[in-house]
Structure 1
Amino acid sequence: MTFADRLFRPVPLSIFCATLFAGALAFAQLERADERGVAPIDGSGSYEVSGVKVDVAARTADQARTGGWREAQRKGWKMLWARVNGKPVENAPGLPDSTLDSISGGIVVEQEQIGPNRYIASLGVLFDRARAGELLGVKGAMRRSAPMLVIPVQWSGGTPVSFESRSEWQKAWARFRSNNSAIDYVRVSGTGADPVLLNAAQTRRPGRGWWRMLLDQYGAADIVVPEVVLFRQWPGGPVIGRFTARHGPDAAVIDQFTLKADSGDGLPAMLDRGIERIDAAYVRALQEGAFKADKSLVIETPVEEVPIEDVLNQLAVAATSTIMVQADTPDAVALRANELALRGMTGVTGVQTGSLALGGTSIFRVSFSGPPTAFRDALVSRGWQVDDVAGGVRIRRGSQPARP
């Protein structure tokens, strides 16, 4: 058999089919991985005002667009001031364009129509939270909830989908700016192990052990499950969405409502409106005290608080040793000298005369901050001769003879 015959030798059909199936499976998995995950936008550092309508005419399209954005900044500032302070938009103070440029963080184009000399659009304006806070008169910190793990579930065609594949509902929650909300949402991107751990079936699992593991892994303390069921009238026609705001591992219903989009192109806008209403329902539940933490989700039992003074006193008592010291006291002067010498030692907190015997051996009760061995070493370093006796030690100066 020549080299050419070996090179073009027919491949068995089974091997060919197995190779083709493995390649198709790898390509499907790669394509499936690309369809998962939507990174949420940054939800910190900005106030957002959406739905600002502008209609500006100018000589050129660029001038009309620039004028429309400046007009959106002026209107957005007044709308934000009215929302924060709870007053009508007419009472909002006006700011010069230079100040608005310094506190504005960006323009979000929701919908726009650009003509040769006219600009019509619906815009959103972002304001820097730190710079705009002083001008808004915001004082103190806004009360926020505990970290809430968000698992959005979309029902379409009778099939629930969470992070198993990329959905319009997941995209809507990814672009939702949660910094304006009192709910501390923990949003995941849906990549890696998220589709396996946070699937639609998990939202109906009653077991608390798995929930506690998920909350600990994602750094959350509770769960919210916003759901939407989509009903399409006909392909490309109106879309009806039935929204449900659920909370906790038992999926308690907080609010329900229905919205409608005129066509499939209006589905993202309808979902955005649904998220705003769901967020408002969650905030209302937080203010009314309905967002109480489930005790079964707590991993550890809280430790009873103990005043720091009591702890320090207990430590001081535990570290203090009481030692019985015997010393020769032939007269009152020797008694006084021994007592003063013991009081002057480092670590001694108190000296009491337990047994007085002038002309004999007196017993002192010494309170020492440390173990008895450290007290014995301190005595030796000061020139005392130390002998162990029953119940304590016996001390004498090196020049003194030992008494029988």
Structure 2
Amino acid sequence: MMTTAIPHKNLRRRIAEAGLRAKAALVVGGFASLALAGFGTARLIAQVEGDRGIPPVANSVDIQVNGIEVDVTGKTGEEARIEGWKQAQKKAWEQLKGPAMPIEAIDAMVSSIVIEREQIGPRRYVARLGVIFDRAKAGQYVGAGEGGAVRSAPMLVLPILYSGGARQVFEVRNVWQKAWAEFQASGSPVDYVRPTGSGGESLILTAGQAGRSSRLWWRNILDQFNAADVVVPVARLERQWPGGPVQGTFTARFGPDNKVLESFTLTARDDEALPQMLSQAVVRIDGIYRDALLRGELVPDPTLLSGRIAFDRALGELRSRLMERDVRAAPPPAAPAPMITPDAPPVVDVQSVTVQFASPDAAAVDAALSAVRGAPGVQNAATTSLAIGGTSVMRVSVAGGGAALAAALRSRGWQVSASGNVLKISR
């Protein structure tokens, strides 16, 4: 065996060099750990921040039918346009399965026309329109009335999209979430709770969550959104070739066990027609959930409430014991104090006021509603006609009438023009 002799002075120098190398390694390791920690924090912030999530549109109390295609010719472009609107009203009424009526009677129930896309030529009108019917007038013929309609418990919506080999919910903005955000859910008996997907919602509402069956996990999530159960509409998009047809397979799932209710397939001719296909799919899936509700299947899973029921029972027993103890320890009742009848409050005249406001997007609708509802004397405020990109209308019950409401809104920085009991407000 070969041995190597190291001189004494060289040994000291090598030991010193080894110590310096060890210290340098510790410093480099420390910097590397800090860099990894910083990188992990940056990744976490990147998962929460960013332009993600689509707020759902404000629900209108009216009855709305979207996506009606018309292609009409006439002596002039304007005449063709009027005839196209009449055809759209008739087609919308047929989609709602309303009774046979003359077009004049149907027109009397229409509150507004929503122009999704239109082309006006010298003698031709091609458009895709939406028709909004006044619920007070049309509700007696189509759909259930305001009162005795069967309503579901609040259902959290988890829209899952499979596209391009990946599945997503709120990680990035996608067409399937957009279709659900734009769905007018007020006409459905299913009480949909639609998250926006912004902030931390994208971390807890993921595609993998639908496969978890833990009731405790689901209960924690549902409590955050005040929901009783979950519906999981799934869309799987497959493109035949770039720029070609898009085939969509849609599945309506329900509950923490991801139960399949029904599936169907639709095809769009290209990516331009994809949003219309997805809107049709949302309406059809809503129909599946409606039928399940009528059959008694769309009810909250009782196992989701088992933990809460046990907690409420224990809390009730504890409350009863504390009340019994307080009753035993309470002193004998004293003589009743003389009754003092307060003066009746002055009667304030409550009037109904119509408020018109510009609504370029859902945020503008929320801002106008918040401002009006926060004004002194306002007892009730609700939209009666909603037109995103146009002028919406709300009905307000306010003490003191339109003058009091106009003064309150002006003091908050709103510009108000009044004509009787009709106010028009803007920023």
- For the residues of structure 2 that align with 1:289 and 1:221, how far apart are their CA atoms? 15
Q: Kindly state the Cα deviation for residue 180 of structure 1 after the two structures are TM-superposed.
A: 2.2
- For the residues of structure 1 that align with 2:223 and 2:136, how far apart are their CA atoms? 31
Q: Kindly state the Cα deviation for residue 72 of structure 1 after the two structures are TM-superposed.
A: 2.7
Quick one: which of 229, 245, 255 aligns to 2:252?
245
Q: Kindly state the Cα deviation for residue 149 of structure 1 after the two structures are TM-superposed.
A: 0.3
For residues 20-57 of structure 1, what are the alpha-carbon distances to aligned partners after superposition, in whole Å with 9 as ceiling and x for unaligned? x99xx79x9499712x1111112331212235443444
Q: Are 1:72 and 2:81 counterparts?
A: no
- For the residues of structure 2 that align with 1:56 and 1:213, how far apart are their CA atoms? 54
| Structure (1 or 2) with the larger CA radius of gyration | 1
- For the residues of structure 1 that align with 2:121 and 2:244, how far apart are their CA atoms? 28
- Equivalence for 1:300: 308
| TM-aligned CA distance change 1:105 to 1:192, over 3 Å | farther
Q: Amino acid of the residue matched to residue 164 of structure 1?
A: E
Q: Amino acid of the residue matched to residue 41 of structure 1?
A: V
Structure 1 residue ranges without an equivalent (≥5): 1-13, 305-314, 321-369, 379-404
Q: Amino acid of the residue matched to residue 92 of structure 1?
A: M
Quick one: which of 124, 145, 148 aligns to 1:141?
148
| TM-aligned CA distance change 1:75 to 1:231, over 3 Å | closer
SS of the equivalent of 2:139 reads: helix
- Equivalence for 2:101: 92
Quick one: which of 33, 42, 45 aligns to 2:50?
33
- Equivalence for 1:124: 130
Q: Amino acid of the residue matched to residue 183 of structure 1?
A: V
Q: Kindly state the Cα deviation for residue 286 of structure 1 after the two structures are TM-superposed.
A: 1.2
Q: Amino acid of the residue matched to residue 120 of structure 1?
A: V
- For the residues of structure 2 that align with 1:171 and 1:294, how far apart are their CA atoms? 28
Kept in 2: contact 1:223–1:248 (CA 8 A): yes
SS of the equivalent of 2:279 reads: helix
Kept in 2: contact 1:148–1:221 (CA 8 A): yes
- Equivalence for 2:119: 113
Kept in 2: contact 1:248–1:294 (CA 8 A): yes
Q: Kindly state the Cα deviation for residue 142 of structure 1 after the two structures are TM-superposed.
A: 1.8
Q: Kindly state the Cα deviation for residue 241 of structure 1 after the two structures are TM-superposed.
A: 1.3
Kept in 2: contact 1:78–1:92 (CA 8 A): no
- For the residues of structure 2 that align with 1:184 and 1:135, how far apart are their CA atoms? 22
Structure 1 runs (4+) deviating above 4 angstroms are 28-32, 134-139, 370-375
Q: Kindly state the Cα deviation for residue 65 of structure 1 after the two structures are TM-superposed.
A: 2.8
- Equivalence for 1:7: none
SS of the equivalent of 2:55 reads: coil
- For the residues of structure 1 that align with 2:107 and 2:168, how far apart are their CA atoms? 47
| TM-aligned CA distance change 1:244 to 1:287, over 3 Å | same
- For the residues of structure 2 that align with 1:174 and 1:114, how far apart are their CA atoms? 30
Quick one: which of 160, 164, 170 aligns to 1:157?
164
Q: Kindly state the Cα deviation for residue 240 of structure 1 after the two structures are TM-superposed.
A: 1.4
Q: Are 1:47 and 2:63 counterparts?
A: yes
| TM-aligned CA distance change 1:270 to 1:137, over 3 Å | closer
Q: Kindly state the Cα deviation for residue 94 of structure 1 after the two structures are TM-superposed.
A: 4.5
| TM-aligned CA distance change 1:59 to 1:220, over 3 Å | same
Q: Amino acid of the residue matched to residue 251 of structure 2?
A: T
- Equivalence for 1:197: 204
- For the residues of structure 1 that align with 2:239 and 2:86, how far apart are their CA atoms? 39
SS of the equivalent of 2:197 reads: coil
Q: Kindly state the Cα deviation for residue 273 of structure 1 after the two structures are TM-superposed.
A: 2.0
| TM-aligned CA distance change 1:157 to 1:138, over 3 Å | closer
- For the residues of structure 1 that align with 2:240 and 2:91, how far apart are their CA atoms? 37
Q: Amino acid of the residue matched to residue 301 of structure 1?
A: I
Higher RCO (C-alpha 8 Å, min separation 6): 2
Q: Kindly state the Cα deviation for residue 135 of structure 1 after the two structures are TM-superposed.
A: 6.7
For residues 209-236 of structure 1, what are the alpha-carbon distances to aligned partners after superposition, in whole Å with 9 as ceiling and x for unaligned? 2211111111111100111111112111
For residues 61-110 of structure 1, what are the alpha-carbon distances to aligned partners after superposition, in whole Å with 9 as ceiling and x for unaligned? 34533443344335534654x34xxx5xxx2354358734xx4144242x
- For the residues of structure 2 that align with 1:30 and 1:198, how far apart are their CA atoms? 13
SS of the equivalent of 1:301 reads: helix
| TM-aligned CA distance change 1:56 to 1:270, over 3 Å | closer
Kept in 2: contact 1:245–1:256 (CA 8 A): yes
SS of the equivalent of 1:292 reads: coil
Normalised TM-score (structure 1)? 0.61
SS of the equivalent of 1:95 reads: helix
| TM-aligned CA distance change 1:53 to 1:164, over 3 Å | closer
Q: Kindly state the Cα deviation for residue 247 of structure 1 after the two structures are TM-superposed.
A: 0.4
Kept in 2: contact 1:226–1:246 (CA 8 A): yes
SS of the equivalent of 1:249 reads: coil
- For the residues of structure 2 that align with 1:203 and 1:138, how far apart are their CA atoms? 32
Q: Amino acid of the residue matched to residue 202 of structure 1?
A: Q
The within-5 A match list for 1:389-400 is none
| TM-aligned CA distance change 1:246 to 1:30, over 3 Å | closer
- Equivalence for 2:295: 288
Kept in 2: contact 1:254–1:281 (CA 8 A): yes
Range moving further from structure 2, 53-62 or 248-257: 53-62
Kept in 2: contact 1:78–1:93 (CA 8 A): no
Kept in 2: contact 1:61–1:119 (CA 8 A): yes
Range moving further from structure 2, 151-160 or 124-133: 124-133
Kept in 2: contact 1:222–1:248 (CA 8 A): yes
| TM-aligned CA distance change 1:289 to 1:207, over 3 Å | same
Q: Are 1:212 and 2:219 counterparts?
A: yes
Q: CA RMSD in A?
A: 3.8
Q: Amino acid of the residue matched to residue 121 of structure 1?
A: A
Q: Are 1:185 and 2:192 counterparts?
A: yes
For residues 338-361 of structure 1, what are the alpha-carbon distances to aligned partners after superposition, in whole Å with 9 as ceiling and x for unaligned? xxxxxxxxxxxxxxxxxxxxxxxx
- Equivalence for 1:236: 243
Q: Amino acid of the residue matched to residue 33 of structure 1?
A: G
Q: Amino acid of the residue matched to residue 185 of structure 1?
A: Y
